[in-house]
Amino acid sequence: MEKDNIEQLFENLKGSFDTQAPEYGHEDRFLEKMNLGNKGATSPIKKIAWWKGVSIAASVAVLIAVSIGFFNQNPSIEQQVAKVSPEVANSQFYFASLIEDQLKELQAESSPETQKIIFDTMLQLKNLKTAYGRLEKELLNGGNSKLLLSAMIINFQTRIDLLHDVLEQIETIKNYNDANYTL
């Protein structure tokens, strides 16, 4: 059955085949194109090999840089203080979380009437935090640890008391404004 189809196909295509001889120099032109094609085929392989080497070298350089950065990290002041006195690290975490909660409350109470008091409070907190940083550095430099630890705790308590007082003042301002609106 297939033979019949193939024979029938050739019968139908009879006379339409190109049977003329190619032009003079056709074989030379063909071989020249083949040689150019081979040169083009080897060129990308060399380029790929070159880029592969550069990418491997770059990857190794990045790994070395990351590992140097990882192993040569200088510990932060908080980490150094925690090594000197683990109790400070625990109390610092506790006080910092209390302060953070009160700061969120303070920001939630922000209104046009309370903006000035909140701004002033934030400046005072920044000053207290700067003073705390100086106390940490002094502790690391070998100062009187009991006195410095006491001062650090007082600094935290001062910040908490400040935030507590400001929140009470804001509540008073809100109540005063509510009383004026209801009259």
Count other C-beta atoms under 10 Å from residue 77's C-beta: 13
Q: Which residue range(s) make up the domain with 44?
A: 1-73
Same domain, 13 and 92: no
pLDDT tens-digit profile of 28-76? 888 888 887 665 555 555 556 667 777 787 788 887 877 776 666 666 6
Q: Do 129 and 67 share a structural domain?
A: no
Last residue of a domain, one of 47, 73, 99: 73
**Do residues 26 and 109 share a domain?**
no
Tokens of 82: 């925690």
* Spatial separation of the C-alpha atoms in residues 123 and 126, rounded to whole Å: 5
Are 63 and 91 within one domain? no
Q: Please tell me the pTM assigned to this model.
A: 0.53
- 95 and 69, same structural domain? no
Domain count of the fold of the chain? 2
Whether residue 32 sits in one domain with residue 109? no
**Highest-confidence range of 16-20, 29-33, 53-57, 80-84, by mean pLDDT?**
29-33
84/132 same-domain check: yes
